[in-house]
């Protein structure tokens, strides 16, 4: 009997397991893939996420992968260039972009060191029920067998196509469909300074320096763009050109080092976050288009929120219900406003209002800092006070 079974061992699940295990709970962490394993992602972690990694004492290990600190940001849109230092936040001097096979493995190993029973190669296929309450999971094991385990709480941290969400019938609180498709690959020989963002008519792009001297270049296009295996490379390069001619020139001088990755499954939704004996964290409960690169940072923040709400209540059903309600309400309150902004950004056609804000940031350093802090998802209260200063300025 475990206190908590966490299904899914990447940034949401491994972080949840790590934080709960450090509080002394008995945790089983089940992951379908064999680690280290990669997943579709453009890697960028904003400052609040980097700060969490520092507070959880795993940042040194993440930095040791060789991913450079991304301490400058530049944002290009037709006729404008915003460039400056990435705002510092807590222990973070900028963003970071470790490869996912490295980040997720570091988190899962840290959870295991904290006492969680981490089992990879294990895929959850069913739930155990006591009446209407989830009481455990059934899963397949690496050797081809099946097993089951019981717990007071099952956490679904199993991504946007969550098995746990499907098995408990977690309803969508809202679903805003898909807005973009993403194409990305890794390049060598690109000169770049920090995180580069590009926004052109019907295309967005990001240049993200990562480990081994490589730079990930992501291009996002409207969802109805016909992208097939045959034309993906052409769509990618044409999209880079649309996002910004400078970017297309930069790519022409670089060398593509890996295959082109393509992702069309980018829904925008909130699912109900909890029920009797279960709770969802990370993409399983709330997914958004990756154009704002918030999924990893949000998964880490939600893991911390959930572990904080649960605190010592895991063993007491009535306190647990209250803690889960608090987590769900806070998740929806905190993540709805940035979700709306992200939806607007994912439409890939900046409004005149947006452009005006960006133009102001071109000449006004305080305003620029405000824009960069908003991009990084730096918490609201701090932004509001900076906004007030910017108005006075």
Ligand X SMILES: Cc1cc2nc3c(=O)[nH]c(=O)nc-3n(C[C@H](O)[C@H](O)[C@H](O)COP(=O)(O)OP(=O)(O)OC[C@H]3O[C@@H](n4cnc5c(N)ncnc54)[C@H](O)[C@@H]3O)c2cc1C
Interface residues with ligand X (CB under 6 A)? 7-13, 30-33, 39-44, 123-124, 157-159, 163, 182, 263, 282-284, 290, 293-297, 299
> Closer to ligand X at the Cβ: 135 or 195?
195
Q: How far is the CB of 300 from ligand X (least distance, A)?
A: 9
Query: Which residue do the tokens 């400078």 mark?
Result: 246
If DSSP codes are grouped into helix, strand and coil, which group holds residue 291? helix
> Closer to ligand X at the Cβ: 76 or 271?
271
Query: DSSP assignment, residue 157?
Result: -
Q: How far is the CB of 266 from ligand X (least distance, A)?
A: 6
Query: Are 59 and 50 in contact, with CB atoms under 8 Å apart?
Result: yes
If DSSP codes are grouped into helix, strand and coil, which group holds residue 320? helix
Q: How far is the CB of 352 from ligand X (least distance, A)?
A: 27
> Closer to ligand X at the Cβ: 63 or 119?
119
Q: How far is the CB of 56 from ligand X (least distance, A)?
A: 15
Using Cβ positions, the residue closest to ligand X within the complex turns out to be: 295
Q: What is the largest CA-CA distance in the chain?
A: 66
Q: Which two tokens stand for residue 10?
A: 């990447």
Q: How far is the CB of 228 from ligand X (least distance, A)?
A: 17
> Closer to ligand X at the Cβ: 22 or 99?
99
Nearest to 16 by CA among 156, 201, 128, 129: 156
> Closer to ligand X at the Cβ: 111 or 284?
284
Q: Distance between CA atoms of 201 and 197, rounded to whole angstroms?
A: 14
Query: Are 237 and 248 in contact, with CB atoms under 8 Å apart?
Result: yes
Reported as type and span, the H/E element at residue 376 is: helix 365-376
Q: How far is the CB of 32 from ligand X (least distance, A)?
A: 4
> Closer to ligand X at the Cβ: 13 or 275?
13
> Closer to ligand X at the Cβ: 92 or 284?
284
> Closer to ligand X at the Cβ: 291 or 390?
291
Q: Distance between CA atoms of 86 and 104, rounded to whole angstroms?
A: 24
> Closer to ligand X at the Cβ: 149 or 284?
284
Q: How far is the CB of 342 from ligand X (least distance, A)?
A: 11
Q: Distance between CA atoms of 228 and 205, rounded to whole angstroms?
A: 19
Q: How far is the CB of 121 from ligand X (least distance, A)?
A: 9
**Nearest-10 crossing angle of helices 317-346, 295-310:** 160
Query: Are 76 and 195 in contact, with CB atoms under 8 Å apart?
Result: no
Q: How many CA atoms lie within 13 A of 322 on its CB side?
A: 8
Q: Distance between CA atoms of 240 and 221, rounded to whole angstroms?
A: 10
What residues have CB less than 8 Å from 139, skipping those under 6 apart?
Answer: 30, 122, 123, 124, 125, 146, 147, 148, 149
Q: How many CA atoms lie within 13 A of 326 on its CB side?
A: 14
Q: How far is the CB of 338 from ligand X (least distance, A)?
A: 12
């Amino acid at each position: 009997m475990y206190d908590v079974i966490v299904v899914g061992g990447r940034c949401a699940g491994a972080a949840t397991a790590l934080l709960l295990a450090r509080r002394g709970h008995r945790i089983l962490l089940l992951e379908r893939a064999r680690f280290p394993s990669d997943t579709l992602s453009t890697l960028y972690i904003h400052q609040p996420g980097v700060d969490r990694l520092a507070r959880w004492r795993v940042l040194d290990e993440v930095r040791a992968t060789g991913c450079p600190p991304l301490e400058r940001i530049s944002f290009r849109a037709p006729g404008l260039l915003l460039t400056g230092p990435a705002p510092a936040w807590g222990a973070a001097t900028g963003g970071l972009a470790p490869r996912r096979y490295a980040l997720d493995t570091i988190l899962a190993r840290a959870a295991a060191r904290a006492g969680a029973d981490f089992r990879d190669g294990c895929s959850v296929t069913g739930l155990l029920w006591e009446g209407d309450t989830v009481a455990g999971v059934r899963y397949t094991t690496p050797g081809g067998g099946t097993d089951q385990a019981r717990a007071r709480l099952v956490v679904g941290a199993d991504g946007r196509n969550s098995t746990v969400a499907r098995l408990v019938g977690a309803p969508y609180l809202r679903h805003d469909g898909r807005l973009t498709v993403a194409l990305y690959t890794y390049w060598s020989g690109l000169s770049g300074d920090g995180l580069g963002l590009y926004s052109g008519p019907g295309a967005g792009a990001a240049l993200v320096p990562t480990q081994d001297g490589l730079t990930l270049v992501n291009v996002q296009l409207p969802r109805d763009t016909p992208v097939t295996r045959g034309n993906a490379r052409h769509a990618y390069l044409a999209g880079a050109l649309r996002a910004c001619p400078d970017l297309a020139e930069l790519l022409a001088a670089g060398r593509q080092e890996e295959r082109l990755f393509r992702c069309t499954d980018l829904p925008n939704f909130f699912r109900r976050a909890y029920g009797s004996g279960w709770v969802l964290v990370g993409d399983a409960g709330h997914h958004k288009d990756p154009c704002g690169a918030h999924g990893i940072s949000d998964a880490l923040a939600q893991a911390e929120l959930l572990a904080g709400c649960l605190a010592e209540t895991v063993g007491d059903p009535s306190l647990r219900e209250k803690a889960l309600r608090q987590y769900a309400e806070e998740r929806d309150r905190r993540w709805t406003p940035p979700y709306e902004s992200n939806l607007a950004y994912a439409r890939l056609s900046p409004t005149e209002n947006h452009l005006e804000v960006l133009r102001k940031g071109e000449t006004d350093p305080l305003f620029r800092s405000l824009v960069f802090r908003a991009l990084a998802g730096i918490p609201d209260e701090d932004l509001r006070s900076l906004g007030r200063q910017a108005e006075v300025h």
